[in-house]
Amino acid sequence: MFIAEKFCSPSRSPRRSSVLGRGFLATLAAFAASLLCTGLSSPAQRAGKVHAAAKDAVSGSPVLLDTMTGELQRAFTSLSKPGQNQKDADRVLPPYFLSYSISDNSSVSIRAQYGALADSNTSHVRVADVQVRIGDPKLDNTHGNHRASAVNSLQMPLGDDRAALSRTLWQATNAGYATALDNYLRVKTEAQVRAKEEDSSPDFSKEPPQVSVSAPAPSIALDRAAWEQRIKSLSLVFREFPSVYQNIAMLTVQNQTDYYASSEGSRIVAPHQQARVVVFAVTRAEDGMDLFRARTFEAETADGLPSQSQMEAGVRELGKSLEALRKAPVTEPFNGPAILSGRASAVFFHEVLGHRLEGQRQRGDEEGQTFTKELNKEVLPPFLSVSDDPTISTFNNTWLSGTYAFDDEGQKARRVDLIQNGVLKTFLMSRLPIASFADSNGHGRAQTGRMPTGRQGNLIVTSTNSVQEVELRRRLIEEARKQGKPYGLYFEDISSGFAVTTRSAPQAFQVIPLVVWRVYVDGRPDELVRGVSIVGTPLAAMKRILATSDKSEVFNGECGAESGTVPVSAVAPAMLVSEIETQRQQQGTQRPPILPIPGAAATPATKEGQ
């Protein structure tokens, strides 16, 4: 599910629960909580302030990395020794792989609502993930459903006290080993009683160790007082729009350093920085339908964010859009031609295509395996190509959220050409092999406490059949007329969606547009409508793309799946599709606020003085 620039993604259940289904008070609370939840998150997602990274006089490496490496070697050697007696020998099995991953995260969070400061705080947290593998790469304790419990997490001390750090890692390793041993015995038992699996690939791939020790991320340098005033001013804009009765404006600045060490010899220190302003607002139509819009501004640091005047102009447009939406007519079910803007198209490709190209979805008895048998076959029109490139940080001067140098299994990030000229070439791979591919391609990603799986980073769609947007619109009208439709649809903005990838349910998708226009064939002005939901099946939807625009747009968000929530980006041009199916969203039963909003009739001068 996606809320306020947040993607939705598949899970092991047929459908993830939607925030939009809980009512907007709960939605707003969940949204705020998700932004404030900076503690136990992904090494590729959260940001962190390194604690003044003291250097070891001998090795020149950060104390934290050296402590991790030393304790890992001690633990791995100790657990690999034979038992002291026959009883121990029968009970204790040595690990063949051990890794420590630590996120050192710091953040500043400032939140305002109704033009007033609601929250302003800082945080600093270190969290360790310990992964222990018992057995061998062909069959180990992470097999099948046991992957979910293959990582043990523990909060680490913030300082560089070697004894305290070592003791905490020892505790996490003991707990992780105990769980791994128990799971491995279960895996061995299950292997004897279960039917043969369709894909008998190993549980872990052999990869070369990676060594990259970069300087830790710097401490956050931010004028808190100035930014508190800026965020209050953004929220204050909504006083111009009395029908917008809930709003949040929020700044999050996150600096992070990720540390990784493994028994294979990997040693990695990778910094990451990101700053983000999110504005979220809610209204309700007279018929009870809840409507929301969100706007985000992102950069590597707070200094790179747009000017205050630019952000206030964007927020003002958001308010105008909400007031227009609450007066717009409700859509009717539709099946016909449509244009998806670049942002809408980016979400569409992320949900409909991207998740089905993640490696782990090609194996397992529960997976639908939509594209597993489509390798080297045409799955898109031949003018389209799709890649995923987490190594780039910007696209046309726009910051990309899905950027990282190393994935959460210590593998170097790589560009992967998934589809070339419409033909499927490969999948997004973690270190979980599949029948066609035995190696990682640097896309093993996870939130802290979760097992990494193949995930999207920066998904990029390119086209060789591109035209100017005015021509794309002309073709939309022509296609609608040819199909005998009174209008086509233009999807300007999309917020959320989900994709079903399990075989126990229909292989379908749904995305929730926020701003939709009817484009009439008889020349009438475009008409704004609300309550639209796009539905369909992926194979059919992908083949109906007729052309694209010559300009691409970026959609930044967060994506949740079985390996947790990770930051992602998608880049795509606007696209014309010959047929898209829509249905009506849930109507809602609550009426607009009965009690008038305080000060709604006040003059601008009065409001400024409040």
Per residue in 430-467, pLDDT tens? 999 999 899 999 999 999 999 999 999 999 999 999 99
What DSSP state is assigned to residue 502? B
The whole-number pLDDT of residue 26 equals 45
pLDDT per residue over 164-181, tens digit each? 999 999 999 999 999 999
The whole-number pLDDT of residue 591 equals 76
Residue 506: pLDDT over 90: no
pLDDT per residue over 541-595, tens digit each? 888 999 999 999 999 988 988 899 999 999 999 999 999 988 887 766 677 777 7
The whole-number pLDDT of residue 542 equals 83
- Choose between 170 and 500: higher pLDDT: 170
Q: What is the mean pLDDT of residues 171-199?
A: 92
Q: Is 264 helix (H, G, I), strand (E, B) or coil?
A: coil
Lowest mean per-residue pLDDT among 12-16, 205-209, 374-378, 433-437: 12-16
The whole-number pLDDT of residue 91 equals 53
Return the half-sphere exposure (C-beta side, CA atoms, 13 A cut-off) of residue 262. 20
How far lies 88's CA from each of 79, 82, 85, 177, 372, in Å? Answer: 12, 8, 5, 15, 44
The whole-number pLDDT of residue 538 equals 64
Whole-number Å distance between alpha carbons of 477 and 523: 9
> β-strand 416-420 against 267-284: which pairing, if any?
unpaired
* CB-based burial, 74-87: b 16+ in 10 Å, e otherwise: ebbeebeeeeeeee
pLDDT per residue over 31-51, tens digit each? 444 433 333 333 333 333 323
What tokens appear for 324 in the block?
Answer: 């227009």
Whole-number Å distance between alpha carbons of 380 and 10: 21
First to last CA, the chain: 37
Nearest to 125 by CA among 104, 110, 109: 104
% of the chain beyond a pLDDT of 90? 69
Nearest to 260 by CA among 220, 212, 218: 212
pTM of the model: 0.86
How far lies 496's CA from each of 4, 95, 446, 537, in Å? Answer: 8, 42, 20, 17
Residue 4: pLDDT over 50: no
Lowest mean per-residue pLDDT among 52-61, 101-110, 573-582: 52-61
- Choose between 603 and 147: higher pLDDT: 147
Residue 129: pLDDT over 90: yes
The whole-number pLDDT of residue 603 equals 40
The whole-number pLDDT of residue 590 equals 77
The whole-number pLDDT of residue 36 equals 33
Residue 610: pLDDT over 50: no
**Which residues does residue 103 pair with via DSSP β-bridges, in sequence order?**
127, 258
% of the chain beyond a pLDDT of 70? 83
Q: Are 354 and 459 in contact (CB under 8 A)?
A: yes
The whole-number pLDDT of residue 500 equals 54
With residues binned 3-state (H G I as helix, E B as strand, rest as coil), the percentages for the chain, rounded to 5, are 25, 35, 40
Residue 17: pLDDT over 60: no
How far lies 274's CA from each of 5, 257, 306, 312, 458, in Å? Answer: 15, 12, 14, 21, 15
The whole-number pLDDT of residue 513 equals 84
The whole-number pLDDT of residue 193 equals 85
pLDDT per residue over 346-384, tens digit each? 998 998 899 999 999 998 767 667 788 899 999 999 999
Q: With helix as H, strand as E and coil as C, how does 198-226 read?
A: CCCCCCCCCCCCCEEECCCCCCCCCCHHH
C-alpha radius of gyration, the chain, whole number:
25
Residue 162: pLDDT over 80: yes
Q: What is the mean pLDDT of residues 132-136?
A: 97
